[in-house]
């Protein structure tokens, strides 16, 4: 499976996002927003969608759900998830530095819950409904086991709850919930780090370096937890550069943007496993260049379209697997995927992706944004 199918899908989604922003969902870009972060999030969410679409092609041909053979499709999925974790580490360590470790635990947890939970609960309900649709269970099953659902919701683990005997239920949302558990645990760790930063560490911004060494020794160099300190280290370096008023020149931006293209091709094509220290380090280098303003892929990360896709990226992340599972399982009743050509399959994915983007826009507008505004009203 050639990589250009995935690249073409991402291009189509960018064009589709541009049309949505231009004609249907006009949104203002706040000057306070980190445009490169939002733009990067948009591309990462599309990368995860493309990776799971590539896996699904072989899965519906009878091959077990597993990593793609091609490095590109493996790394565009794994790499995107790792960059999401790095973004989380960057944003919250940057917040700790900016506020000098002063953090209200109750307000912080409340904010994070309102950010994650509403859309999670909505996707959780969709998963159960899809499972019921493809099984012989009824809505009475949901009502009768509401206590179990509450426990799993609080653990951000709705996918593992077995209410039906549907095979491979984990695949209904492409099994993405595992990442939310890491995110939620890191939020709790942030509370500890904020306390340490303003007391024991005495505002020492280079603590992520020590944390990297500790995690490497205790948990191993390929452990996922090590990726968060890489993001935190990027925040420390960015803060140090800002303190010294070091900003990239136009020629430096041009050079590093030119450098970033072959570098990106290298880390997406020459690795088949992103969960190792070398890839973490290479990914960190690219991430650091992005957040420091040296790389924006020739303005791509600052486009209104990519920033918009970044805004809806959480909805895209939670919904794309549900769309893939539902639509492809319905289509397999009428289509033999073993004889379906790649061009036809990726055309289906392109149409499905456009529908998914629209649905993510609606859930962002009427679920995520509503609770974000509720959070702002609670503050005022």
DSSP type of residue 366: I
* Tokens 């490497």, residue located: 216
Q: Name the domain count of the chain.
A: 1
pLDDT, one tens digit per residue, over 93-113 is 999 999 999 999 998 998 999
Q: How confident is the model at residue 163 (pLDDT cuts 50, 70, 90)?
A: very low
> Rounded mean pLDDT of the chain?
88
CA distance 111 to 371: 10
Name the range with the highest mean pLDDT among 23-27, 67-71, 353-357: 353-357
For residue 161, the model assigns a pLDDT of 45
Nearest to 33, CA basis, from 362, 304, 256, 276:
304
The pLDDT of 63-83, averaged and rounded, is 94
Query: Which three-class secondary structure string do you get for 16-65?
Result: HHHHHHHHHCCCCCCCCCCHHHHHHHHHHHHHHHHHHHHHHHHHCCCCCC
- Report if residue 258 sits inside a domain: yes
Q: C-alpha distances in angstroms, 199 versus 99, 228, 298?
A: 13, 22, 42
Q: Where are the alpha helices (DSSP H) in the chain?
A: 3-19, 35-59, 71-98, 105-133, 139-144, 146-154, 177-198, 207-219, 227-243, 250-269, 277-291, 304-311, 313-331, 342-363, 369-379
Residue at 26 is within a domain? no
Residue 225, in any domain of the structure:
yes
Q: Determine contact, residues 316/357, Cβ cutoff 8 Å.
A: yes
Do residues 42 and 330 touch, judged by C-beta distance below 8 A?
A: no
Give the mean model confidence (pLDDT) for residues 222-247.
93
Task: Specify the higher pLDDT residue, 62 or 34.
Answer: 62
**Is residue 122 over pLDDT 50?**
yes
28 in a structural domain:
no
Does 232 fall in a domain?
yes
Token pair 């041909």 is at which residue? 61
Residue 354 has pLDDT above 90, yes or no: yes
Is the model more confident about 149 or about 326?
326
Tell whether 27 is covered by a domain: no
Q: Compute the average pLDDT of residues 264-270.
A: 95
The helix-helix angle for 35-59 and 3-19 (nearest 10°) equals 130
Tell me what the mean pLDDT of segment 350-354 comes to. Answer: 97
CA 150 and chain centroid, separation? 24
* Residue 223 domain-assigned (yes or no): yes
Residue 223 near residue 213, CB atoms below 8 Å = no
CB-CB neighbours of 156 under 10 Å: 21
Dump pLDDT digits (tens) for 3-52: 999 999 999 999 999 999 988 876 666 555 678 999 999 999 999 999 99
Q: Identify the domain containing residue 94 by its residue range.
A: 3-21+33-379
pLDDT tens-place string over residues 295-340: 999 999 999 999 999 999 999 999 999 999 999 999 999 999 999 9
**Residues in Cβ contact with 183 at an 8 Å cutoff, skipping those fewer than 6 apart:** 85, 88, 116
> Distances in Å between the alpha carbon of 376 and those of 103, 111, 117, 280?
17, 9, 16, 35
Q: 147: pLDDT confidence band, cut at 50, 70 and 90?
A: low
Residue 1 clears pLDDT 90, i.e. is over it: no
Percentage with pLDDT > 70 across the chain: 87
What is the arithmetic mean of pLDDT over 229-246?
Answer: 95
pLDDT value for 145: 54
């Amino acid at each position: 499976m050639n990589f250009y199918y995935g690249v073409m899908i991402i291009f189509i989604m960018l064009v589709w996002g541009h049309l949505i922003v231009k004609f249907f969902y006009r949104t203002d870009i706040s000057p306070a927003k980190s445009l490169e972060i939002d733009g990067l999030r948009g591309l990462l969410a599309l990368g995860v969608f493309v990776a799971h679409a590539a896996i699904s092609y072989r899965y519906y041909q009878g091959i077990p759900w597993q990593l793609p053979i091609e490095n590109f499709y493996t790394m565009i999925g794994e790499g995107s998830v790792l960059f999401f974790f790095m973004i989380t580490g960057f944003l919250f360590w940057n917040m700790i530095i900016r506020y000098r470790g002063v953090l209200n635990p109750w307000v912080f947890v409340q904010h994070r819950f309102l950010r994650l939970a509403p859309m999670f609960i909505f996707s959780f309900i969709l998963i159960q409904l899809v499972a019921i649709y493809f099984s012989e269970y009824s809505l009475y099953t949901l009502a009768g086991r509401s206590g179990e659902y509450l426990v799993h919701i609080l653990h951000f683990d709705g996918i593992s709850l077995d209410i039906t005997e549907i095979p491979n239920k984990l695949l209904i949302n492409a099994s993405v919930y595992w990442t939310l558990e890491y995110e939620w645990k890191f939020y709790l760790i942030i509370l500890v780090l904020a306390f340490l930063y303003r007391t024991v560490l005495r505002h020492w911004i280079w603590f992520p370096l020590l944390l990297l060494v500790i995690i490497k020794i205790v948990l191993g160099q390929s452990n996922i937890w090590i990726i968060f300190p890489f993001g935190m280290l990027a925040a420390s370096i960015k803060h140090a550069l800002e303190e010294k008023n070091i900003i990239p020149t136009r020629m430096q931006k041009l050079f590093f943007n030119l450098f970033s293209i072959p570098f990106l091709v290298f880390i997406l094509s020459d690795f088949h496993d992103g969960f190792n220290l070398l890839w973490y380090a290479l990914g960190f280098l690219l991430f650091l260049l992005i957040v420091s303003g040296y790389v924006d892929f020739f303005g791509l990360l600052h486009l209104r379209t990519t920033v918009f896709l970044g805004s809806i990226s959480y909805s895209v992340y939670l919904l794309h697997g549900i769309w893939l599972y539902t639509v492809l399982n319905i289509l397999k009743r009428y289509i033999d995927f073993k004889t379906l050509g790649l061009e036809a399959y990726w055309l289906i994915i392109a149409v499905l992706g456009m529908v998914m983007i629209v649905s993510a826009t609606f859930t962002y507008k009427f679920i995520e944004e509503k609770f974000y505004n509720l959070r702002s009203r609670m503050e005022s």
